[in-house]
Chain A
Amino acid sequence: MEPKKSDLLRDTIEHIDIKQHNVVPLVEAMSKMAFSSRDLGRAAHIFDDMLQDKDCAVIMCLAGSLISAGLKQVLVDLVQNNMVDAIVSTGAIIVDQDFFEALGFKHYKGEITMSDDTLRKLAIDRIYDTYIDEDELRICDATTGEIADSLEPRPYSSREFIREMGRYLQERGGVKNSLVLTCFEKNVPIFVPAFSDCSAGFGLIAHQ
């Protein structure tokens, strides 16, 4: 029997909370091993050095499906605690994933063995083992179009547009744990050089 949409969109992806897990002893121990463990330990030390260097601004670069995969709270905590001064990202992370969740939608645990034809018929998009409700994504597309309609017609940097997305979320209220909103509040600019290549692209072509 074919599954219903509600059967598949049931278990949500939960965002890991680094504040709950003190990994310092673990990472220090990994630094004394070899291969990727030692590489990771050295990277962690370098990041810590960056934060202690008073002259150093930190730019965080994001690519890949990070927020849909459960890393949103990690990124929010880094910004909230002054560990990041600017972000450069793909559009999908900022719009399709973060802004999407800020509108109240979720990502769901899925199965890589599921029939993709079944998923398509149910309007469910798949990212490896994660499901997204395509109908909800359309609402996200339309919301970016609404924001575009509210702006003076002129060229904008993606940074300016994403700041308006943050303002929209602040005025909407009730939004927690959003990278776009936290960056708006903390005055951390987010740059998405290929901004039309994401959910916002659909809103923008409708606007234009």
Chain B
Amino acid sequence: MNNPDAHMSMDSAKDFLELTKCKLATKQSGLFMIGGGVPKNFAQDTVVAGDYLGFDVGMHKYAIQVTVADDRDGALSGSTLKEANSWGKVDLAAEQMVFSEATMAVPLIAGYVYHKGNWKNRRGREFAKMLDEKPARKQAAEPIEPRLTPAIATADAV
């Protein structure tokens, strides 16, 4: 233990707030889930988080998941996206689960969209710029200016 009195630490609530800010900064959202577990629930829960903070936040409009987890044990990993709808997390219109191990299904799904080429008209949202309010380094030369969208500015005021 090198720094018992003054050390950096991990703040998972900060993660949750930052991810929720990403969700609040966009009109619609879609989930591409490979496997289940904590990442699946964390992303789905941003809808509930936004709602809890008092924002009118829509459910995830699109959701696809590749998994071999079963839904009958009640665990989150295999819980259907239809089931997530009962929690107000996922819209029912465009959801699909694929019962497959990832190395089989992911190259096909990703390869399909890559060669369809519809991403060529798409711009990345660069959420990291929005979230980088101050540099993490001890001696950073230039502070990075936050680029706040209106939704985020409101979220910050909470």
Q: Are A62 and B34 closer than 8 Å at their CB atoms? A: yes
Chain B interface, number of residues (Cβ within 8 angstroms): 80
Chain A residues with Cβ below 8 Å from B103 are: 69-71
A-B contact count (CB 8 A): 295
List which A158-179 residues lie within 8 A (CB) of chain B: 158-161, 163-164
Contact A51 B118, beta carbon cutoff 8 Å: yes
B10 within 8 A of A: yes
- Determine if B62 is an interface residue (Cβ-Cβ < 8 Å): yes
Cross-chain contact B128 with A43 (CB below 8 angstroms): no
Inter-subunit contact B8/A47 (CB<8 Å): no
Instruction: Give bound CA distance, A54 to B106, whole Å.
Output: 23
- Name the one of A61, A149, A186 contacting B33, with C-beta atoms under 8 angstroms: A61
Q: Within the complex, which residue of B60, B63, B109 is in contact with A44, where a contact is CB–CB below 8 Å?
A: B109
CB-CB contacts of B102-115 with A at 8 A, as 1s and 0s?
11011111111111
Q: For residue A8, give the distance in angstroms from its CB to the closest CB of chain B.
A: 21
Q: Is B131 an interface residue (CB 8 A)?
A: yes
Check: A74 CB closer than 8 A to any chain B CB: yes
What is the bound-complex CA distance between A81 and B111, given in angstroms? 12
Task: Return the contact of B113 from the options A40, A44, A186, A191 (Cβ within 8 A).
Answer: A44
Q: Is A157 an interface residue (CB 8 A)?
A: yes
Which of chain B's residues have a CB closer than 8 A to the CB of A66?
34-35, 102, 106
Residue from A63, A160, A186, A208 within 8 A of B4 (CB atoms): A208
